[in-house]
Structure 1
Amino acid sequence: MIQKLFSYLYPIKIFKKKSARSKVIEVTWANGELVLDSENTNYSYGSLQRILRYGLRNIGYDKVLQMEHILVLGVAGGSVIKTLVDEINYKGKITGVEIDPEMIQIANQYFNLNEIKQLEIIIDDAFEFVLKTKDRYDLIIIDIFEDTNMPNFLFEKFFSERVCFLLKDQGFILFNTMILDEAHNVRNRKYITEINAQLFTSKMLPRIEVHNELIIIEKVA
């Protein structure tokens, strides 16, 4: 494809749409791959895929392969789901929760997300879904942004305790956060201190991208 070849020289935008939830959604050829962006940040593929791949590698691909059910809060274009299925060869069930139906339409059209048989997509607010679900998960990936903003509920103790409650024993949470100023650093450190140290271990990974910090929580009890 000629656009793919030229994208090594300069980005080529092939789709742009205004979205009620994400303001502007763009699909672009960049360095030979399709990426999904909002107005000010990468939503799927590109740098975001590298970040979440790094988090999964830190958990251990061998552990991921043993898991039965993975929950993804914030699907966007589905890059972490593609990493799980195409790169790690994960065969278990994946439930993806995405609030923006337009995002899923784009993910299906440009990234073939609807071809992944083990994936169930639920259009819902992540907070509401976490309150309602009766399932337990081996891994919960939290990757929720509205452009460069992260909803406040993600860092509230009630939500973090509920997400931790949904983990099976020896389960993991992989939480992708955005750091734009010192207040965000303080927020992340506070979040870590509120995790129950008797039941969970938590750590922040060294950053591989300037503005993203991954938090990993493991249920040890």
Structure 2
Amino acid sequence: MLKRLLSYLYPIKIHSQKSAFSKSLEITWANGDLVMDSMNTNYSYGSLQRILKLGLKNIGFEKIKNMQHILILGVAGGSVIKTLIDDIHFPGKITGVEIDPEVIQIANRYFKLNEIPQLKIIIDDAFEFVLKTTDKYDLIVVDVFQDTKMPNFLFETFFIDRICFLLKNRGNILFNTMLLNKADNLRNQKLISDFSKENCSIKSIPRVEKHNELIIIEKLV
């Protein structure tokens, strides 16, 4: 409790370790909350939780509450999962895909993800998983980062086609992206254009927490 109280004055790091995928992972008390950070950015809770919660609000909490199966690509500490459980009271099935097993070990220890009964965590590459899965989803959250970098496959036409195929009619995709330069802006413009070819309605919420842009897609047919 003392560390939590002191964190309102200054951040207090309580855990740090190296990771093959994320390089550096830290757990810190900040403003009374535990957050997970990589070397250069917030990985879970803190600003990232605010960003993804805004995206979920734009989709609609009531709509999400009535969904049956949600896919999370990029779990990290599980902040979007906590929002689904604690704020939306989502009763359905959640499948979380995370490439880094060390991240999940930390998330279980500090954020108790392993205590969420409807959550199934799969250690796999997001691209490989979407190729293999035969399930259909009401909501797909794409939040795949390696520190501040986003893998190139996320923006390839094949991946976009595949996640649209896995989406139920009237289902949604919440795509979290980071804009750090002009090339990133052009990349996102192409992404939005590619999704427009998939019989989807699209809107973007730019400059969330300064560097993030949320892209929200609804499958129309």
| Short-chain TM bin | over 0.9
Partner of 2:54: 54
1:206 CA displacement? 3.6
Q: Which amino acid aligns with 1:70?
A: I
The 4+ residue runs of structure 1 with deviation greater than 4 A are: none
Could you list the per-position Cα deviations for residues 138-180 of structure 1 after superposition, in whole angstroms to 9, with x for gaps in the alignment?
0000000000100000000100110011000000000000110
1:207 CA displacement? 2.8
Partner of 1:3: 3
Q: Which amino acid aligns with 1:108?
A: N
1:195 CA displacement? 1.6
Residues 69-218 of structure 1 mapped to structure 2, 5 A cutoff: 69-197=69-197, 199-218=199-218
Distance of 1:200 and 1:23 partners within structure 2: 36
Q: When the two structures are aligned, how many residues end up with a matched partner?
A: 221
1:198 CA displacement? 6.0
Cα gap change, 1:72/1:198 in structure 2, threshold over 3 Å: closer, same or farther?
Answer: closer
Partner of 1:43: 43
Q: What is the TM-score with the length of structure 1 in the denominator?
A: 0.99
**SS at 1:194's partner residue?**
helix
Distance of 1:170 and 1:207 partners within structure 2: 26
Distance of 2:68 and 2:92 partners within structure 1: 5
Distance of 2:102 and 2:208 partners within structure 1: 30
Cα gap change, 1:198/1:80 in structure 2, threshold over 3 Å: closer, same or farther?
Answer: closer
1:196 CA displacement? 4.0
Distance of 1:68 and 1:102 partners within structure 2: 29
**SS at 2:207's partner residue?**
coil
CA contact under 8 A between 2:95 and 2:119: conserved in structure 1? yes
Q: Which amino acid aligns with 2:76?
A: A
Distance of 1:28 and 1:117 partners within structure 2: 26
Q: Which amino acid aligns with 1:165?
A: F
**SS at 1:175's partner residue?**
strand
Distance of 1:151 and 1:21 partners within structure 2: 12
**SS at 2:208's partner residue?**
coil
Structure 2 unaligned spans of 5+ = none
What is the percentage of aligned positions where both structures have the same residue? Answer: 68
Over aligned residue pairs, what C-alpha RMSD do you find?
A: 0.8
Structure 1 unaligned spans of 5+ = none
1:209 CA displacement? 1.1
Q: Which amino acid aligns with 1:30?
A: A
**SS at 1:131's partner residue?**
helix
Could you list the per-position Cα deviations for residues 30-51 of structure 1 after superposition, in whole angstroms to 9, with x for gaps in the alignment?
0000000000000000000000
CA contact under 8 A between 2:206 and 2:212: conserved in structure 1? no
